[in-house]
Structure formats: C-alpha cells, structure tokens
Structure 1
Amino acid sequence: MQCLQIHKWSLLLLALLPFELAAQAPLADTPYEILEERERPGDHFTQGLYFDGERWWESSGRYRQSWLAEYTDPTANPLRRKWLAANRFAEGLTVLGDKLYLLTYRAGELQRYKRSDLSPLGSLRYRGQGWGLTSDGEQLIMSDGSDELTFRDPETFEIQRRLKVHGGDRRWSQLNELEYAHGLVWANIWQTPLIIAIDPESGAVRQQINLEELAPQSQNPDAVANGIAWDRERNGLWVTGKFWPVLYLIRPEGFGESSGGEAT
C-alpha cells in the first residue's frame, strides 16, 4: 500500500513538472518599433515622466538639484519649473484628475501640486522609500525598489492593497519608474535596460522590453533607462533614461491588443 501511495505522488509530481518549468522559463524580449526620436538636453536625472497628449511633466532627482518641470515641448525650455528643497530628492510622479503627485526618495513625503500651474497643494506622509508612481485612474500605484507594488488612496495615500511581482526565471526587485497603460503597469528595472509589463491583479509579468540598443554610449554608471510615458493618441510609450539626450517613442509588438482598461 505504501509503495502504491509513493507511486501516485511520483506521478503527480511528474504531471506538475511541465507547469513548474514553464513558470520558471525566462521571458523573451518583446520586439518594438521606434516611431519617433526627440533630442533634448542630456543633463536630466529623470525620475518620473508623464504625457497627457498636450503637456509633459518630468521630475529630475539628486539632492540640491531636484526639480519638477512642465513642458509643451520636451526638447525646449520648460513652461514652469519647481526646485525642491536641498534636502529633498525628487522621484516618481503621476497626474490624476487636477492634481500632480510627486514622491521623494527618503523623506517619506508625497508632494502634491495643482495640475494647471504647479502651485503646491500640501503633502502627505508615507513610510519607506519612494521610487516610482503611477495611477490606474482611481488609485495611486507606488514602487519602493523592492518586488512589491502598493495601491494607495489618492486622498490619504494610505495603502489599500499590496502586490508581489513575479514571473519568468528571476525575482523582480528594484521596480522603479512606473506607467499605467492598456491595463498593465509598466516598470523600469533600475540599473538595467529592462521594462516589464505587470498584471495589476495577479502581479504576473506579462512582457519584457529590452532598451539596450537605445542606451547612449556613456561611461557614466548612472546613465540607465528610466522614464516611461504613455502616448494614447499614437499608441506608444515614450521612453528615456537618466542623462539620456534622446526621448524615444516606441510601440511594443501587440501593444494594447488585450487592453484591460485606461487611466485618466
């Protein structure tokens, strides 16, 4: 009887093995086409990027050098620029409704601004580090450099849900700049040329984009891919990096074909 039970368990394990191997299989890079390139100053330490079809907002980090800017043309001088306090390090940003939300790295401070003119609207507190920020049109979605996303109330910034990111043959830590597009959360992986697309319900990684061919030839170790902005009208993603002198509009293969919803 004992031998029969062991045999049954062996058959079960063998039956599950293909599914386990599939879950651990490395992700293939999703091909993409380049729709447009725009040159710009190469001194931006890009942390957050957002485009609403007419205006751009960008945050640039580093202590004593952090700023938030608004553009109609990202290759020209900004319409407005807000310099942060010397002890504040700007991180990810997003726009929701009539407000702009900006994270700070280690200060635990979410800064809020009026969308129309960048006038300050006060701040909210949070624990831990701030890295990337986006919105699904209802909640704010934040990364902190780990393998976890937190979904937060835009009025209080209280955590409503936590989501572990998983998939492929690796652990997805160092989630950085975020963008919500076609029902997926797109995330830069810090210190790599990778962008991954995350299912916001399950945390599964659905796609992987490798921007290595777009990276500038630079000896600066900080010149890494960072910055994603959805261009809804042209159905693409604007991507760039820290100290990158170019913005690229790319369209990943199959982009939007299985859309799960749109952020406002």
Structure 2
Amino acid sequence: MLKKLCATTLLAVAATSAYSAPDIPFTEIDRIQRTDNHFTQGLEISGNRWFESSGRYGHSWLAEYTDPGAKAIQRKWLAGDRFAEGLTLANGKLYLLTWKAGEVFVYDSTSLKLLDTLHYEGEGWGLAFDGEHLIKSNGSDKLVFHDPEDFSVIKTLQVRDGFRKWDRLNELEFAHGLVWANVWYDSRILAIDPDNGQVVGIVDLKDYAPTSLSDPGIANGIAWDRNRNGLWVTGKYWPTIYLIRPEGLGFQKTTDTD
C-alpha cells in the first residue's frame, strides 16, 4: 500500500511540474496611434472614459482621456519624489500606487480630486480590482489582495506555472475572472487563476513591440474593454494602443460586430 501511495504522489508531482501554460492566440480588433512619451504604468477604460498613469520621478502623472490618441482632458501631476505606478478603478474611486513611497493615492474618478492616502509595506507595481479586493503586484512572484477601505492585507498568492516561478509581475487587470499581468522587461501577459495562482495562459505581444526603442519588448498597460470584449494593451513609450481579443478564457466573440 505504501508503495502504491508513493507512486501516486510521484505521478501527481510529475504532472504538476510538467504543466506548462499554453500560448493563447489572439486577434487584433483595433489600434489607436498616439504620442510616444507615455511611460505607461496603469491603464483603465470605463465606457468612453480612459484613465492612465505614467511613471518616472519628476514626470509622474494621472490623466483622463475621452480619446487616448488626443490630449488629456484633465491631468494630475505627482510630487517630484513620487513615482506613479499601477492604477485601478473601484467603486467610483481611482487608486494609484507609488513605487517605493508605500502610498496609494485615492482620487475621485470624476474630478480627480485627492480623497485619501493609504499606506502599505514594500513596493507597489501593478493594481487591479476584482469586484471585492484590490490586487497588487510588487515585482515579485506574489499577488497581494487588499481591502479597498484601508488597504489592509487580506491574503497573499504565489504565481506559478507548474513549478516555474513567475516573478517581476507588473501592471495588472482583472477580466473574466482572471488576473492578467504584464511581466517587467518582457512582452508576455500572463492569465492567472486568482484562487490558486496558477498561470492558465500566456499572450505574447512580441510582434507588436516597436523596434525603434532601446528596450522595445517592455509591454505594460492592460485595460479590459467590456463593451467590445477585448483587452487594450500597450507598452513603455509605445506609440500605439492595441485592442486584442484572446481566444477563449472568457473572450469568445458573442456578436458579429465589434
């Protein structure tokens, strides 16, 4: 019996370690050209309203657009010693992380008026909202789930592809029950099961990265367009935002028009 149990355990371990998340094909639906001076950190779309955060010390801002290819209709600049990071919209408020300051700024989503400043330990990279919790990345292989009211930690989740550790998790989006994550200095987007941290699919934007940039492969910025059932994606200093529709994972086309 012991030998049988050991054999069963080894088979289970081998199956887990052999797992590799599949590459997910996708279709490009649309694209928007814009200036290439956006160090995109967070990207959100709600109806016809777009929100974006852009980083770097002395150049960090939060902006709203009705057309991301045009000028912002309103913009908030951060202090020179604050580095803007991930951004998400939750319950009528915008939550904006800072990289190393341990602060999350809470803004009214209509006026961009600062409502509150919450605090956390460590670094802030990406941010998403699953309808209940704010989900934060910090450059490691972990996702941290926070209470939107006080940003207290609810749980921490390790991200794995079988036994492979995925670290450098960056900008986040929550769509169709999955966490979608950019990877720093990478062209790939991971689709992550928020219940167990398993990577269930990978979207690679390598063919969309501008070759003119010194670091062309850095994809960053994911926004779920519910109306068109796709993901708007872009990268650091990319002059284009693309609307893509992955095959499956909730993004099956349901109408004949986009």
TM-score range (shorter-chain normalised) is: over 0.9
TM-score between both structures, scaled by the size of structure 1? 0.90
- CA deviations on 1:201-245 (whole Å, 9 max, x unpaired) are 111111111111111113422761000000011111000000100
Q: Is the counterpart of residue 132 in structure 1 residue 126 in structure 2?
A: yes
Tell me the residue number matched to 1:142: 136
Instruction: Specify whether residues 23 and 181 from structure 1 end up closer, same or farther in structure 2 by C-alpha distance, changes over 3 A only.
Output: same
Q: Is the counterpart of residue 170 in structure 1 residue 164 in structure 2?
A: yes
Q: Is the counterpart of residue 22 in structure 1 residue 24 in structure 2?
A: no
Structure showing greater radius of gyration is 1
Tell me the residue number matched to 2:195: 201
The runs of 5 or more residues in structure 1 that have no matched partner are 259-264
Distance 1:205 1:174 in 2: 14
CA apart distance, 1:14: 4.1
Q: Is the 8 A contact 1:100 1:114 kept in 2?
A: yes
Task: For 1:102, give the aligned amino acid.
Answer: L
Distance 2:41 2:15 in 1: 34
Tell me the residue number matched to 1:44: 38
Q: Is the 8 A contact 2:209 2:216 kept in 1?
A: no
RMSD of aligned alpha carbons: 1.7
Q: Is the counterpart of residue 121 in structure 1 residue 115 in structure 2?
A: yes
Q: Is the counterpart of residue 182 in structure 1 residue 182 in structure 2?
A: no
Bigger mean CA deviation after superposition, 19-28 or 139-148: 19-28
Distance 2:8 2:121 in 1: 44
- CA deviations on 1:143-164 (whole Å, 9 max, x unpaired) are 1111111111111001011111
Q: Is the 8 A contact 1:46 1:243 kept in 2?
A: yes
The runs of 5 or more residues in structure 2 that have no matched partner are 253-258
- CA deviations on 1:88-131 (whole Å, 9 max, x unpaired) are 00000001112110000000010011110101112011110000
Instruction: Specify whether residues 106 and 40 from structure 1 end up closer, same or farther in structure 2 by C-alpha distance, changes over 3 A only.
Output: same
Matched-pair identity in %: 53
Task: For 2:103, give the aligned amino acid.
Answer: E
Count matched residues: 251
CA apart distance, 1:63: 0.3
